[in-house]
Amino acid sequence: MIVVNFKTYKEATGYKAISLARICRRVSEETKVRIVAVPQVADLRSCVETGAECWVQHVDTAEQGKKTGWITVEDVEEAGARGTLLNHAEHKLTAELVKSIAEQTRGMAFELCLCAADEKEAVELDKLQSNYLAYEPPELIGSRDKSVASEKPEIIEKVVKAVGVSVLIGAGVHSGDDVRVGLKLGAKGVLLATDVVLAENPERELRELAEGFK
């Protein structure tokens, strides 16, 4: 699977988010590779209406009711989100908060992907029994010439062997070769943003990544 994190890039905000979600849906349908679009919450419902599979970038543990400014699981699920990223390097959470959200979503038809910066954090997060664990070394996030696949293949292999859930790899992923390396080492897919969102031709870039699954 390919998870495309829209982040808060202007190139993936508002109408541009809708356009990118359509690309995700189209490439997924034509290549038969599962592609998940992860827009900002404000763009979620519009992106869901394109037919793309969508997650959100974060949820809170707040219950519905007398609360202001929080993102509830119930709200985004009702809007069509089928899962969420959590604990991304750009939005780190306390261990207690991650555990609370994991417990809240367990048993729901709502997938949880926890992000880990290294092998140690991956092992700790694995105890929470999420659906996916994304290994992303922070120093490589956004890189255009180095990727987790080229720089840390040995850590990918260690993480895959150390945890019991499906592993995604991220940080600098930018080619079908990166995808192939990850799959060979036991990962189930990739989590990325920059390579697709900021590409001159996002659809062409996404198709190249999908080629890595063949």
For the chain, what are the domain ranges? Answer: 2-211
60-76 as b/e: b if 16+ CB within 10 A: bbbeeeeeeeebbbebb
pLDDT, the chain, mean = 93
Please, which residues bridge with residue 86 across strands?
114
Considering the domain 2-211 in this protein, what is its CATH number? Answer: 3.20.20.70
> What digits encode the pLDDT tens for the residues 71-90?
999 999 999 999 999 999 99
SS3 for the chain is CEEEECCCCHHHCCHHHHHHHHHHHHHHHHHCCCEEEECCHHHHHHHHCCCCEECECCCCCCCCCCCCCCCCHHHHHHCCCCEEEECCCCCCCCHHHHHHHHHHHCCCCCEEEEEECCHHHHHHHHCCCCCEEEECCHHHCCCCCCCHHHHCHHHHHHHHHHCCCEEEEECCCCCHHHHHHHHHCCCCEEEECHHHHCCCCHHHHHHHHHHCCC
pLDDT at 13: 98
Positions marked active-site? 88, 136
Tens digits of per-residue pLDDT, 162-173? 999 999 998 878
Largest CA distance in the chain: 50
Radius of gyration over alpha carbons of the chain, in Å? 16
Angle at 189 between CA 28 and CA 152, to 5 degrees: 145
**Predicted confidence (pLDDT) per residue in 100-127, tens digit:** 999 988 888 899 999 999 999 999 999 9
How far is residue 105's CA from residue 173's CA, in Å, rounded to a whole number?
29
Q: Are 166 and 200 in contact (CB under 8 A)?
A: no
Q: What does the pLDDT read at residue 62?
A: 83
Res. 143: pLDDT tops 90: no
Q: Tokens standing for 121?
A: 């954090």
Report yes or no on whether pTM surpasses 0.85: yes
Question: What are the beta bridge partners of residue 37?
Answer: 4, 54
